[in-house]
Amino acid sequence: MKNLVIAILFVTTIVGGYIVATSKLRLHLEGLEGESKEIVRGNLLLPINATGEIRPALRVEIKSKASGEVIEIARRAGDRVNAGDLLIRLDPADEQRSVSRAELDLVAAQARLEESKIAIQQAKNQVDAAASNVSQLQTSIEFSLFRKEKIEALPPEQRNDEEVLQRRTTYEGQLAQLQGAKAELELAKLKEPQAVQSLRQAEATLATLQNNLADAQERLRETDIHCPIAGIVADVKSQIGEVIQGGKSTFTGGTVLAVVISTDRLLVKAEVDESDIGQILKIAPAWASPGHASNLTMPENLEEALAQAGQSPLVMVESFRDQQFKGVIERIYPEPRSISNVVTYLVDVVITSDNRHLLLPGMRADVRFTAEERTDIVLCPNEAIREGPQGQLGVYIPKPDAPAKLRETEFIVCTLGLDNGSNTEIIDGLSVGMTVYTKLPAKKNRNKDDS
């Protein structure tokens, strides 16, 4: 038994040593022979990568003009809602009392308005009466003056002094009455514009109270708070028993009761580096560029927008690594953002894929734009491209007709095109099927020019 164990250990040692030796020999040979790849034909894309956050195109904070205690919450976070669905109900008692007070104030204002109309008519009547009195007195004065002058014109022996005195007294008394009547007429004329002004004030007060009543009635209706859009309830910020302040009584516009988002239109606010924004402007549809004409807008129909845009950025999220989401550039913001001296521009990309319902607001997203694209071109690995003996760019290939054991190379100058970081377009110098070195071999007799 002991001899068997020793034999097994001996064989294991021999085999292990052989494996290690052959591995080292193979690595050494690979290092001597270099590494190579074949030139192929294919497509090349020049991507621009950006990151952003999934957001709804429409997010509504629900507030109420009414004040009161929350007595019912009809929808909770995550519930799907339609426009007009009940979200929250408030106790209507306070707002009902406000409506009742407004109605009473309106009745009193209507009564004051009628009083003002009556006062105007009374003022007009007083003016007419005072004017008539003045007219009558003027006629009487003319007659009194005639009688006075007539008796004064008689010879002294025919005049009666008592009658002369009486006619003079009558005339002067009527003159005094006329002055008083004219004063009453002027006073009556002053009362009429005052009554008109009171009427205008009463009409203004009535209009204000009518608006107050309409506001109170609207606040009463607002005690039942309905959803203004179709979407999903993102958050409910109130609870049963909480007393809220309405938007009419606070400077902040009221308490936020819930948040509803529209999931029909999701977008990514992508942060594009300043070095890439020029390329994005080139590929963006006309409606997305800053300063576009006001009549250029992205179509509401997403399929139509995708067809018109031409360029379709790809969106990827960590939660769904096996799926891609297509999008359309909707807007490029001209205002830059600078954080720690890194300047970026926001680009809105609307998700158009049918699987967009999987996405949730707040998810971090990677966006890939295709700045340029080449199809059916000659491609060379970037690691094969080197600087040649004369400073030109090109590749090294195995030297034709040279013995393989010498591992001799030949440099070929190439005309290069688009580069995506992994492969480069070869415009001239190489053909499909050629072998190029990505790692140069160690030559036995390397010429200085080939080093």
- Average pLDDT estimate for 428-443: 90
Give percent of the chain above pLDDT 90: 44
Q: What is the model's pLDDT at position 30?
A: 47
Specify whether 286 is located in the same domain as 366.
yes
Specify whether 70 is located in the same domain as 129.
no
Lookup: tokens for 212: 């107050």
Specify whether 113 is located in the same domain as 187.
yes
Q: What is the model's pLDDT at position 406?
A: 76
Q: Which of 239, 261, 283 is the C-terminal boundary of a domain?
A: 261
Q: What is the pTM of this model?
A: 0.59
Asked if residue 140 has pLDDT above 90, the reply is no
Asked if residue 430 has pLDDT above 50, the reply is yes
Interatomic CA distance for residues 214 and 222, integer angstroms: 12
- Whether 5 is covered by a domain: the verdict is no
Asked if residue 28 has pLDDT above 50, the reply is no
Interatomic CA distance for residues 203 and 214, integer angstroms: 16
Higher-pLDDT residue of 31, 413:
413
Asked if residue 263 has pLDDT above 90, the reply is no
- Whether 11 is covered by a domain: the verdict is no
- Lowest mean pLDDT segment, chosen from 241-245, 253-257, 294-298: 253-257
Asked if residue 447 has pLDDT above 50, the reply is no
Interatomic CA distance for residues 208 and 375, integer angstroms: 72
- Domain of residue 424: give its range: 32-43+375-450
185 neighbors 138 (Cβ within 8 angstroms) = no
Mean pLDDT of the chain: 85
Q: Which of 320, 348, 374 is the C-terminal boundary of a domain?
A: 374
338 neighbors 32 (Cβ within 8 angstroms) = no
Specify whether 114 is located in the same domain as 210.
yes
- Whether 172 is covered by a domain: the verdict is yes
Asked if residue 22 has pLDDT above 80, the reply is no
Asked if residue 163 has pLDDT above 50, the reply is yes
Interatomic CA distance for residues 348 and 345, integer angstroms: 10
Specify whether 215 is located in the same domain as 232.
no
Specify whether 74 is located in the same domain as 215.
no
- Average pLDDT estimate for 162-190: 82
Asked if residue 109 has pLDDT above 80, the reply is yes
Side-chain half-sphere exposure of 336, counting CA atoms within 13 A: 12
Asked if residue 354 has pLDDT above 80, the reply is yes
- Whether 425 is covered by a domain: the verdict is yes
CATH number assigned to the domain comprising residue 159: 1.10.287
- Whether 23 is covered by a domain: the verdict is no
pLDDT in tens, 305-323: 988 887 789 999 999 999 9
Residue 391: C-alpha distances to residues 147, 252, 414, 419, 427 (Å): 138, 69, 12, 19, 19
Specify whether 341 is located in the same domain as 431.
no
State the total domains in the chain.
4
Specify whether 381 is located in the same domain as 445.
yes
- Whether 66 is covered by a domain: the verdict is yes
- Whether 253 is covered by a domain: the verdict is yes
- Whether 332 is covered by a domain: the verdict is yes
Specify whether 309 is located in the same domain as 392.
no
